[in-house]
Amino acid sequence: MAHTFEELVTMQRTADDAHAKVKQLQDEYGRPTEIEWTDEQITTWHTAWQAWLDAARDAQAAVTAHAKEQGTARTQVEADVKRAVRHPAPQE
């Protein structure tokens, strides 16, 4: 399925947000080696981790497909997407 650049940006934002959630839970719960997590914490963290994994996989696959469709280097498309997500141009 072909994706527009804007869709790639949205997908990368979703992956970044999911990653931030995993990091937030780790900060909140502590490292598993430092304390014992409850079953609920383990389930919550694993669900967040799986969401991050799925979002990142989907974003990467879409970047690869977009680059192939556009005849552009995959690394360039990925860099452009990440730049748009992490350093957006100011709104007019």
pLDDT tens track for 38-63? 889 999 999 999 999 999 999 999 99
pTM above 0.85, yes or no: yes
Low pLDDT (below 50) residues in the chain: none
32 occurs within a structural domain = no
pLDDT of residue 90: 78
How big is the chain, counted in residues? 92
- Residue 57's pLDDT is 98
User: CA 78: distance to chain centroid?
Assistant: 12
Percent of the chain with pLDDT over 90: 76
At 92 the pLDDT is 57
How many separate domains does the chain show? Answer: 1
Does the residue 14 lie in any domain?
yes
Instruction: Answer whether residue 19 is part of any domain.
Output: yes
